[in-house]
Each structure stands twice: as C-alpha cells, then as structure tokens.
Amino acid sequence: MARISMGEITRALVVEGPDGSLDEALESAGLEVRRVPGAPSEAELISLLHETGAQVIFKRSRTLVTRQVIESCPALLAIQLCCIGDDSVDKQACADNGIMVFNDPVSNARSVVELVISHVIALARRLYETDVSCRAGVWEKSNEGRYEVKGKVLGVVGLGNIGRQVARAAESMGMRIRFFDSRYAAQEVGIEFGWEESSTLPDLFRKSDFVTAHLSARDASGKSNEGILSREILAQLGADRGPASPKIFLNLSRGFLHDPADLIALIDAGTIRRAAVDVFPVEPRGSEPWVNPYHAHPQVVVSPHIGASTQEAQPRIARRVARTFLGFSRFGSVRDMVFGPKVKLGLVEDGAEGKVLLCVAHSTDRGTKRAIDEVIYQAGASNLSSVHKDFEDLGVAYDLAAIDRPLSEEEIRTLVDSAAEVTGNAQAIRSVRQIAL
Ligand SMILES: NC(=O)c1ccc[n+]([C@@H]2O[C@H](COP(=O)([O-])OP(=O)(O)OC[C@H]3O[C@@H](n4cnc5c(N)ncnc54)[C@H](O)[C@@H]3O)[C@@H](O)[C@H]2O)c1
C-alpha cells in the first residue's frame, strides 16, 4: 500500500549516538525527536517506531533496517545515515516501499585521511612493534626494516573523495603518487595533479612501495568490489621496487575488498611486510563477540572501524545530514541519496510561497509518470515544473513536481489507483508526500 503523507516530516527517531547538535537542528526546525542510546535490535526498532510514530530514522552503521522493519512501519518515509556505509539498510525493501535513504559521503573524509597518514609513517618506522617491545623492557635500537617515506611511491586504489585527499597529504611529505580508478572524472583529477596512473591493479601494486585502498563498495557501473584485491594482486606489492621497498598495505575503506587469510599468508611469506586494517569482512554489531583475524600477526595493525571516529567529524556529519534531511522534508529535494549517490534533485528552496510540492516515489513501470501528470491535470492543477529520476537497479523512480494548488487526499488516492491501472502494478506508486509551501 502506498505511503501517503501531507506536509513536512515531523517525528524523528535517533539511534546509535550521532552528535547531539543533530537533535538541536531538528528540534529547531520543529521536529519531535526521540533519541535512544545504542543500536536497537529489529524487534526493538519496530516497537520504537510504533511508539514514536517516527517518519525518519537517523542512524549510524550498526542498527539493521530490514524488510521486516520497513514493512511493519507504514509511517516511515526516510532513513538518514549519519555515516557513509549503507550496508545496514535493506535498500531494495526501501525502494519497494518508497522510502528514501540518505547518507553522508563527505564529512568524515578528513578524519580517515589523517589516520591513513599516521599509519603510513608509523608502519614505515615499525613504531607499533617498538612500543610493545619497549613496554616489555627491550632496548632494541636498530634501523632494520625502518624507512623514510620521502621519495617512496604511494599507490592509491580509488581516487575518490578520500583517496584524493590522502594523495595530496602524502605528496606534501615528499611521496610520489600513483593511482588506479576506473572513473573518468577521477582519472582527470589524478592527471591534473601530475600523478602517475596505472590502468590495472597489478601494475599499481608492482610499482608502489605502499598501497592504500580507498574504493567504494561498488564501481561506477554498480558492480560489487567484493574480493577485488585477490591474493595474486596483493602479492605484487612492491615487486618492481627493489629489495628496499617497505611493502606496506593499508585498507581503511571496505572490509570485503580482500580476504584476511590472503593478507596473513602474504605477511607470513614476507611478500607484504606490514599492514594497517580498519575494516573487516564481518564486523560485530553492538556488543557481539569479535575475533581479530590478525591477532597472531603483530605486523598487521588493526583498529575497530574508527576511521571517522573523531571529535571533529561527528559534529560535521550532524550538520550535513540535518541539512540533507531538512531539504528533503521541507522541499522534497534530494542529495546524498544512496540509490544514486551523485544525483541531486530539487525545485525550490525558500521564497516559493503558494506553490505545492508533490513528491512521489514510484515504480519504473512504463506509464507511471504519465498517470501522475494526468491526475494533476484532471484535478485542474497546473504542473509548474518538475524533476524526475529513475534508479533502474532498484526499480524505483523519484518524481518531484511543483503545482499551483494542493490535491485533496481523494485526488492523491486517485493518482495511486490510476497508476496501478495503467501499469497493471498495484504497487506502482510507493509513496506520495504533498508539501504546501
Ligand atoms: N574506515 C572508515 O571509518 C571509513 C570512513 C569513511 C569512508 N570509508 C570508506 O572509504 C571508501 C572511500 O570513500 P570515498 O568517500 O573516497 O568514496 P568515493 O566514492 O568518493 O571514491 C571511491 C572511488 O573508488 C573508485 N572505484 C570504485 N570501484 C572501483 C573499481 N572497481 N575500479 C576502479 N575504481 C573504482 C570510484 O570511481 C571512486 O573514484 C568507501 O568505501 C567508504 O565506505 C571508510
């Protein structure tokens, strides 16, 4: 059944402790906010959503939003992730129910970049191992296996938002940059900065002393990057760089890019000397027990996915997600939507009094958009302007129209029925929200 609502979103549920400034921003925009600590289980989340009538959930990465949650909570209209990763949300279930899912792909970049740079130097100087031996009372003063980073080649896999900033910071320490990215715009950036490009992963690994992975979960065509850094590729690290290459690997992006067993085997063989890992194929949720796959390998320094966990990143994220969400709530506008990360849609901001915005999430069935336009016309309203985007992979589209008078609830129900009739799909319209400015 289509989710129909009138006006701005007024009730929010906040879980997993995003920065408190988020609640202030939402409350000052007139929302009723319920904040609960920790990550609720599926049953707890459903009961919280029923209790509060929340139309939006603000969450980080641990709370699972399953199909069961989506389908048992008809008031829900949006999910706002206060992080970048969206694996915790059943996106297909959201698309099927006309629920918009937003993230924050930019605010935590600086924190990740600084952690990467700190690892580059600390691993090159074997600092973590030295700390352990000094604590054990061992005075071992040696230059063995210790390197300067100046003049070394840093291979950046994925020259997106984070990869690009890592490259610039490393360059300022005198490192030479090599990159691999399949996106034309990213390649252009690399070329503009005068960095060397590798057109294959083995080439990048062979020609680099350090490799740092900054890939997104999927490539530009939507293909998953799971297992993209195979044992054969990892084994090429520093192969063309001679015996004095530090051969250091870093992954602070996605845990499933490589298999921990492959990294361990290569560390054991001395093919890779040291590594830093912040992300894992399986990460615990809440207080679940966790086994560090590298616990017997001190050459691999691990951290519990804290790339973005800084005092500075969290308020920055709160600010951005509040803006993203309020743009959607007040004006139906869309940015940072996980269905299509680079998509930006919007018609009006402030100063458009008198207009009415109709925000419709619908199936990509042929005829649905025409059915919406027809109902607006039949209702005697004029479509002043509209924007539209299909998200083919998920079979959902978003349509935002500015019209000159509001539709009645009955007219909106006619819209739902006539789209179902035209397309033969009872679920053609997934959600409709009407906002009178
Ligand atoms: N450790 C943490 O706490 C933390 C925090 C923030 C982000 N991250 C992760 O860091 C990663 C990078 O984030 P970002 O904001 O820079 O992402 P981004 O989307 O800006 O950049 C990713 C780049 O990888 C490229 N890419 C993806 N798949 C590719 C492939 N198969 N071949 C070649 N190029 C490919 C893309 O073209 C893009 O340029 C993401 O996976 C994100 O989830 C981790």
Of all protein residues, the one whose alpha carbon is nearest to atom 2 of ligand 1 is 307
What is the length of the chain? 437
338 lines ligand 1 (CB under 6 A): no
Residue 110 Cβ inside 6 Å of ligand 1? The answer reads no
Q: Does ligand 1 have an atom closer than 6 angstroms to the CB of 237?
A: no
CA separation for the pair 12, 243 (Å, rounded): 57
End-to-end distance of the chain based on CA atoms, in angstroms?
26
**Over the stretch 233-282, which tens digit does the pLDDT of each residue have?**
999 999 999 999 999 999 999 999 999 999 999 999 999 999 999 999 99
Indicate whether 327 pLDDT > 90: yes
Active site residue ranges? 254, 283, 305
pLDDT tens-digit readout, 330-352: 999 999 999 987 899 998 766 56
Q: 279 CB less than 6 Å from ligand 1?
A: yes
Phi, psi for 97 (deg, rounded to 5): -110, 10
Nearest partner of 435 among 321, 296, 327, judged by Cα: 327
Give nearest CA residue, ligand 1 atom 38.
Answer: 160
Matching residue, tokens 């909106």: 412
Give mean pLDDT, residues 372-396.
89
Report which ligand 1 atom has the smallest distance to the Cα of 215: 24
Mind listing the pLDDT tens digit for each residue in 86-118? Answer: 989 999 999 999 999 999 999 999 999 999 999
For the Cβ of 190 lying below 6 angstroms from any atom of ligand 1, the answer is no
> Could you tell me if the CB of 5 is within 6 A of ligand 1?
no
**Which atom number of ligand 1 is nearest to the Cα of residue 341?**
19
pLDDT at 332: 95
The pTM assigned to this predicted structure is 0.84
In a mutational test of the pocket of ligand 1, which residue from 191, 216, 301 has the highest number of ligand atoms less than 8 Å from its CB?
A: 216
Closest CA to 105 of 320, 413, 302: 320
Ligand 1 atom showing the smallest separation from residue 309 Cα: 3
Please give the pLDDT value at position 351: 57
Q: Whose CA is nearest to atom 8 of ligand 1?
A: 253
Mean pLDDT of the chain: 94
Residue 105: C-alpha distances to residues 102, 226, 260, 399 (Å): 9, 20, 26, 23
For residues 80 and 326, is the Cβ–Cβ distance under 8 A? Answer: no
- Reference 343, options 302, 290, 399; nearest CA is 399
Residue 382's pLDDT is 86
